[in-house]
Structure 1
Amino acid sequence: MIFQKISEHEQVLFCHEPRSGLRAIIAIHNTTLGPALGGCRMQPYESEEAALEDALRLAKGMTYKCAAADVDFGGGKAVIIGDPRTERTAERFRAFGQMVASLGGRFYTGTDMGTMPEDFIHAAKETSYIVGLPEAYGGSGDSSIPTAQGILYAIQATSYFLWGTEVLKGKHFALQGLGKVGWKVGEHLLAAGANLWVTDVDQGRVDAFLQLATAYAGEVKAVSGAEIYGVDADLFVPCAIGAVINHTSVEQLKVKAVVGSANNQLATSEDGVRLHERGILYAPDYIANSGGLIQVADELYGHNHERVLRKTKAIYETLVSIYQQAEAQGISTMKAADQFCEERLYQRQVRNSFYLEQRRPQWELVK
Structure 2
Amino acid sequence: MTSTIDDGRTTSTIFDRLRSGGFEQALFNHDAQTGLRSLVLIHDTTLGPALGGVRMHPYETETAALEDGLRLAEAMTLKAAAAGLALGGGWSVVIGDPAHDKTEALLRAHGRFVATLGGRFIPVNDVGTTQADLKVIGTEAAPVCADGDPSPMTALGVLEGIRACLRATGGDGSLRGVRVCVQGAGNVGAALARLLAAESAELLVSDIDPRRAAAVARAVGARVVDPATAAITECDVLAPCALGGVVNDRTLPELRCRIIAGGANNVLAAPEHAAALEARGILYAPDFCVNAGGLVFLEERLLGHDDARAEHRVRQVGERVATVIEHARRSGVPPTEAALTQARARLRAR
If the length of structure 1 is used for normalisation, what is the TM-score? Answer: 0.89
**Structure 1 position 159, deviation (Å):** 1.0
Contact 2:231–2:246, Cα closer than 8 Å, also in 1:
no
Matched, 1:158 2:165: yes
Q: Distance in 1 between matches of 2:324 and 2:83?
A: 13
Q: Distance in 2 between matches of 1:33 and 1:290?
A: 16
> Which structure shows the bigger proportion of residues in helix conformation?
1
Cα deviation digits, residues 271-327 of structure 1 (max 9, x gap):
111101111000111111111111112222114212211211111111001001111
Q: Distance in 2 between matches of 1:267 and 1:203?
A: 25
Specify which of 135, 143, 152 is matched with residue 129 of structure 1: 143
Cα deviation digits, residues 323-351 of structure 1 (max 9, x gap):
01111111111101100101111112xxx
Q: Distance in 2 between matches of 1:42 and 1:67?
A: 26
Query: SS of the residue aligned with 2:348?
Result: helix
Query: SS of the residue aligned with 1:148?
Result: helix
Matched, 1:227 2:229: yes
Q: Distance in 1 between matches of 2:26 and 2:143?
A: 17
Most deviating of 266-275 and 156-165: 156-165
Q: Percent identical across equivalent pairs? A: 40
Aligned to 1:217: none
Aligned to 1:108: 122
Aligned residues: 336
Q: Distance in 1 between matches of 2:234 and 2:182?
A: 12
Q: Distance in 1 between matches of 2:264 and 2:217?
A: 22
* Structure 2: unaligned runs, 5 residues or longer: 1-11
Contact 1:35–1:106, Cα closer than 8 Å, also in 2:
yes
Specify which of 67, 71, 89 is matched with residue 85 of structure 2: 71
Aligned to 1:353: none
Q: Distance in 1 between matches of 2:303 and 2:18?
A: 31
How do residues 246-285 of structure 1 correspond to structure 2 at under 5 angstroms?
246-285=248-287
Aligned to 1:294: 296
Q: Distance in 1 between matches of 2:200 and 2:299?
A: 33
Matched, 1:183 2:190: yes
Contact 2:51–2:91, Cα closer than 8 Å, also in 1:
yes
Cα deviation digits, residues 157-182 of structure 1 (max 9, x gap):
11111123011101111211111110
Aligned to 2:339: 337
**Structure 1 position 212, deviation (Å):** 1.6
Aligned to 1:205: 212
Contact 2:76–2:89, Cα closer than 8 Å, also in 1:
yes
Contact 1:295–1:303, Cα closer than 8 Å, also in 2:
no
Aligned to 1:242: 244
4+ runs deviating over 3 angstroms: none
Query: SS of the residue aligned with 1:41?
Result: strand
Query: SS of the residue aligned with 1:38?
Result: strand
RMSD between aligned residues: 1.2
Contact 1:100–1:129, Cα closer than 8 Å, also in 2:
no
Matched, 1:5 2:17: yes
Aligned to 2:103: 89
Specify which of 162, 179, 195 is matched with residue 172 of structure 1: 179
* Structure 1: unaligned runs, 5 residues or longer: 134-138, 215-219, 349-367
Query: SS of the residue aligned with 2:311?
Result: helix
Specify which of 48, 54, 62 is matched with residue 48 of structure 1: 62
Most deviating of 336-345 and 84-93: 84-93
How do residues 318-333 of structure 1 correspond to structure 2 at under 5 angstroms?
318-333=320-335
Amino acid at match of 1:207: A
Cα deviation digits, residues 237-267 of structure 1 (max 9, x gap):
1111101111221111111110000011000
Contact 2:111–2:137, Cα closer than 8 Å, also in 1:
yes
Cα deviation digits, residues 160-206 of structure 1 (max 9, x gap):
11123011101111211111110111111111111122211111012
